[in-house]
Amino acid sequence: MQVWPGQAYPLGATYDGAGTNFAVFSEAADRVELCLLHDDGSETAVELRESDAFVLHAYLPGVMPGQRYGFRVHGPYAPAQGHRCNSAKLLLDPYARAVSGRIDWGEEVYGYRFGAPDKRNDMDSAPHMMTSVVVNPYFDWGDDRPPRTPYNETVLYEAHVKGLTMRHPDLPAELRGSYAALAHPAVIDHLTQLGVTALELMPVHQFVNDHRLVDMGLNNYWGYNTIGFFAPHNAYASWGDRGEQVLEFKQAVKALHEAGIEVILDVVYNHTAEGNHLGPTLSYKGLDNASYYRLTDDPRYYMDTTGTGNSLLMRSPHVLQMIMDSLRHWVTDMHVDGFRFDLAATLARQFHEVDRLSSFFDLVQQDPVVSQVKLIAEPWDVGEGGYQVGNFPPLWTEWNGMYRDTVRDMWRGEPRTLAEFASRLTGSSDLYQDDGRRPLASINFTTCHDGFTLHDLVSYNDKHNEDNGENNQDGESHNRSWNCGTEGETDDPDVLELRERQMRNFIATLMLSQGVPMLSHGDEFARTQGGNNNAYCQDNEVAWVRWPQGESTQLEFTRAMAWLRRDHPVFRRRRFFHGRPVEGTHDELSDIAWFTPEGEEMTQEDWDASQARALTVFLNGNAISEPGTRGERIADDSFLLMFNASAQPLEFVVPVNHGRQWQVVVDTARADGVPPDTGPKARAGERLTLADRSLTVLQRPA
């Protein structure tokens, strides 16, 4: 076999049409072998003799796409000094563009002997390992281009590739649970009719099913257990795993773009699947443990701010380079439109404390590719000082956990919630205005993959996670949920009607709030997980979306609210409200006003009243201060939002001096939630009765 020196950059396996360049970083290694794997189980080892700045490399003419490979690293196995090199372990390429196979769990894939963590394990892991694959980078993108939907027009839809499509009745059986299913017209039509502009996919980076879960007969369904930051997860391909998964993922992105839907990836750059000091040796540990991971003062052990056993070393230039190379790869080569960063506070821990000016954020800020896509932070981790909602840099948007908690508290009737609810409804200026950000920095959600579904939020007071095999000890115990008087499933028509009304309240509040709304897949037709609020290991019908037969009133209502938002820019302002008339609009009314149910302007005493659970909000469509996309001044209809979160029906007075005649366009007390165009009208000063725990929207033409 010919072996040429090759190049130190780019890292990974790079096919150029005639052969493949291999490059891998290891400062700890004494020697690195590239192992080409054959279908008969044999391997050809090639020592990487060229080294530049600790990147070892070689070019192999004739090595083609589909070739499986791995690395063996010869070097110190000295856990007490932080080194875990072990040439008996076949290692995945950190830069692999595709991964083949799965791990056959056993002692062979661990770097130490069971029962003796400091004793090197010389059992060969190759027969039990997944392998890296050389990929052909070419793909005919045609005229594909990113939709680049502005944040104020964005509706996010969080979904799991398999969970969304596995039970879809209109999909061929062979496509269900795959990337190809995302590209199917039945799925795309559902998203477009729902008003979705961006599909936020739960992890599709190559991940690993944990040894513990496999032994229990379960899987790591959610996928927050990454081992390959450049490779699409191979189990989501409908055919083949020797590069076919890359092709299929690209085809899905192209189809979604054609429908005007962006693709955003939930990415897990805070830790890897190798766990703590008792975890397996799959890639990074064996290549250069101390360069990739944050170790404690005793280098045997790992610092863990993620709750998964390890945390990547965010002050290592090689880790930072890998993350940035990965992000650019997914934007430039895979055409994705943005990222949601799991446990993003860990990315800001350059030393110990969370630092909003850490090197990672500096790199993102100056990067001409990554800085131009949507960047969404999950702004917390499990480490000390890890809850950082509102503290990320101006380029970033954030999952607003305070929005979720406040809206849940409001609709379940918690006291002293009204003032904070008003802040969350109007874009959370208390969190984002002081650093120059706008309402669009707030990603608003009431449910997501982590926690109760919307149906379960109004059906369960307590989690029911017994199927997870952890004695119901896992998952959040404080859910801010309310079961409407009965725990779990029931046939009581009054309870069912109240639950349906509460779900409409949550959907309507989400779509009427300033910021960027995010729906969780299946909530539009009230899917349930049977009270399981931590379905991370339920790769089955517990977590898969159960699609309804035909239309449902919940789905129709969700569509109607999404389209109401789309049609009226007053619900998706790019700037915060001023609370006063806007200059140049020739309108003496304030851009927003707050009223008691009696139609009187709210006083501080009203806001502070512990039992206050109702208010009216006036949104002035004639006082939108920002210009349109072509510089024109935006004008819209005006709206009154009436919220009654109390347990009794209440009379609301339509405020005077803010419009003479209004029409009801949303009433969550109705089964359909949306009155017809010829629905009830209301005049200034007139009294309307709102049912307990309901929301009404009135519209006045501009």
Residues noted as catalytic: 342, 378
CA 373 to chain centroid: 15
Q: Order of strands, edge to edge, in the sheet holding 43-47? A: 43-47, 31-37, 68-74, 131-133, 98-100
Residues 6+ apart with CB under 8 A from 217: none
**Per-residue b or e along 554-577, where b marks 16 or more CB atoms closer than 10 Å to that residue's CB:** bbebbbbbbebbeebbbbbbbbbb
What is the 3 state secondary structure string of 539-588? CCCCCCCCCCCCCCHHHHHHHHHHHHHHHCHHHCCCCCCCCCCCCCCCCC
CA 450 to chain centroid: 10
Ramachandran angles phi, psi of 633, nearest 5°: -75, 135
Tell how many helices (H) and how many strands (E) occur in the chain.
Answer: 15, 31
**131 touches 69 (CB < 8 A):** yes
DSSP-derived secondary structure for 343-411? TGGGGG-SSSS--TT-HHHHHHHH-TTGGGSEEEE----SSTT---TT-S-TT-EEE-HHHHHHHHHHH
Q: Sign of the C-alpha dihedral, residues 210, 213, 217, 219?
A: negative
Give the C-alpha separation, 187 to 170, whole Å: 9
**397 touches 151 (CB < 8 A):** yes
Nearest CA to 544 out of 202, 245, 45, 205 is that of 202
To which residue do tokens 């130190």 refer? 8
Quote the tokens at residue 594: 């707050």
Give the C-alpha separation, 544 to 238, whole Å: 17
Give the C-alpha separation, 585 to 633, whole Å: 9
390: left (phi over 0), alpha (psi -120 to 50) or beta: left
DSSP-derived secondary structure for 294-349? -B-SSTTSB--SSSSS--B-TT-HHHHHHHHHHHHHHHHTT---EEEETTGGGGG-
Question: Where are any strands of DSSP class E within 189-280?
Answer: 198-201, 205-207, 226-232, 262-267
Quote the tokens at residue 540: 């089955």
Residues 6+ apart with CB under 8 A from 679: 663, 664, 665
304 exposed, middle or buried (CB, 10 Å; 0-12, 13-18, 19+)?
Answer: buried
Residues 6+ apart with CB under 8 A from 368: none
The residue count for the chain: 702
- The C-alpha angle with vertex 336 and arms to 334 and 342, in degrees rounded to 5, equals 115
CA dist 326 to 12, 323, 490, Å?
11, 5, 48
| Amino acid type, 24 | V
* Local structure of 286: helix, strand or coil: helix
Ramachandran angles phi, psi of 145, nearest 5°: -145, 150
Give the C-alpha separation, 330 to 320, whole Å: 16
**446 touches 408 (CB < 8 A):** yes
